[in-house]
C-alpha cells in the first residue's frame, strides 16, 4: 500500500544558475517575477529548485504537466494548487535550506515539511524560551556534541506542524510538544484555547516522521541530480542526506 504522504527532497549543493535555467520554464509569471527580485544568486537557485520540484511532484501525483499549476492563498494563507482555475484536490508544503529543498504532498489532509542544514549555527538558549519543558529536558539529556542536531530535530518537527496547520508562529510553540524517538506530537489536555486553535484534533489525528544523518536512515525520494539534464529522470536518487535533515 502506498503511503498517503509523498516526500521528495533534492540536494542542490553545487548547483549554479546555469544548471537550473531550464527549470524556470515550468514556473508561472508570478514565480519568475519573484526569482528576478531576489538579489542573491544562491537564493534564486534555491527558489527555482524548490518551486520546480513542487510542480514536478504535483504533476506526477495528479497526472498533469508541471506548468499546468497556478496558486492562490487559502483560508489560512497556505497556497492552494489550481489546475484550469479549479482546486487540484491535493495538499502540499515545501521547504528549502542551504543545500536542500523538500516537498511533501498528501491527498488526505494538511501536510507540513521543514528542512534544515545540520551545520547551521544553533542557539540552544532558544529551547528554554520556545520549547515545552519535556522537550528541553530531552535536549539537556543529550551528550553536548549531539545537542545542536537534537535541537534541529525538535525545531523541524515543530515547524512542520505549524506549517501544516497554517497558523505559523501565531501558534505558540510551547502549546504542544514532541517525543522524538519515534516522533509523536502531544498536546496540553483540557486547554480550551489550544483545542480550538488546533480544530479539536488530538495526538491521534497527526503523524510525524523525520530523517537525519545521525539516524543512519536514508531519506526517501532524495534526488541526487546535479545538472538540469537530470530533471527529467524522476528515479534519480541518492542513498542519504549529507548536510540536512527533514521532518514532516
4-19 confidence digits (pLDDT tens): 778 888 888 888 999 9
Q: Which domain holds residue 172?
A: 5-247
C-alpha torsion sign, points 190, 195, 196, 202: negative
Tens-place pLDDT, residues 140-199: 999 998 888 888 888 888 888 888 887 766 676 667 888 888 888 888 665 544 444 444
The 3-state DSSP class for residue 17 equals: helix
Q: Which of 109, 52, 31 is nearest to 232 (CA)?
A: 52
- What pTM was estimated for this model as a whole? 0.78
CATH of the domain at 43: 3.90.470.20
Non-local CB neighbours of 222 within 8 Å, separated by 6+ positions: 8, 9, 10, 11, 237, 238, 240, 241
Domain count, the chain: 1
**Any idea which residue has 491521534 for its cell?**
204
- Statement: residue 112 has pLDDT above 80: yes
Which of 107, 91, 66 minimizes the C-alpha distance to 163?
91
Order of strands across the sheet with 244-247?
114-117, 244-247, 210-211
Amino acid at each position: 500500500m502506498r503511503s498517503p504522504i509523498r516526500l521528495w527532497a533534492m540536494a542542490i549543493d553545487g548547483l549554479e544558475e546555469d544548471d537550473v535555467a531550464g527549470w524556470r520554464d515550468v514556473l508561472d509569471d508570478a514565480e519568475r517575477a519573484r526569482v528576478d527580485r531576489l538579489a542573491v544568486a544562491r537564493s534564486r537557485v534555491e527558489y527555482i529548485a524548490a518551486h520546480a520540484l513542487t510542480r514536478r511532484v504535483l504533476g506526477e501525483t495528479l497526472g498533469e504537466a508541471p506548468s499546468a499549476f497556478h496558486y492562490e492563498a487559502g483560508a489560512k494563507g497556505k497556497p492552494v494548487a489550481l489546475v484550469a482555475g479549479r482546486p487540484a484536490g491535493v495538499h502540499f508544503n515545501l521547504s528549502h535550506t542551504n543545500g536542500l529543498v523538500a516537498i511533501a504532498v498528501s491527498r488526505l489532509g494538511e501536510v507540513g515539511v521543514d528542512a534544515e542544514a545540520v551545520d547551521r549555527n544553533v542557539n540552544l538558549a532558544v529551547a528554554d524560551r520556545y520549547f515545552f519543558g519535556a522537550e528541553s529536558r530531552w535536549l539537556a539529556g543529550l551528550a553536548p556534541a549531539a545537542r545542536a542536531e537534537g535541537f534541529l530535530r525538535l525545531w523541524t518537527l515543530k515547524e512542520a506542524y505549524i506549517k501544516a496547520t497554517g497558523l505559523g508562529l501565531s501558534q505558540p510553540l510551547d502549546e504542544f510538544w514532541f517525543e522524538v524517538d519515534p516522533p509523536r506530537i502531544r498536546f496540553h489536555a483540557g486547554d480550551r484555547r489550544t483545542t480550538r486553535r488546533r480544530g479539536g484534533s488530538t495526538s491521534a489525528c497527526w503523524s510525524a516522521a523525520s530523517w537525519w544523518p545521525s539516524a543512519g536512515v536514508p531519506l526517501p525520494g532524495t534526488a541526487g541530480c546535479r545538472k538540469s539534464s537530470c530533471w527529467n529522470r524522476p528515479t534519480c536518487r541518492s542513498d542519504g542526506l549529507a548536510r540536512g535533515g527533514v521532518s514532516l
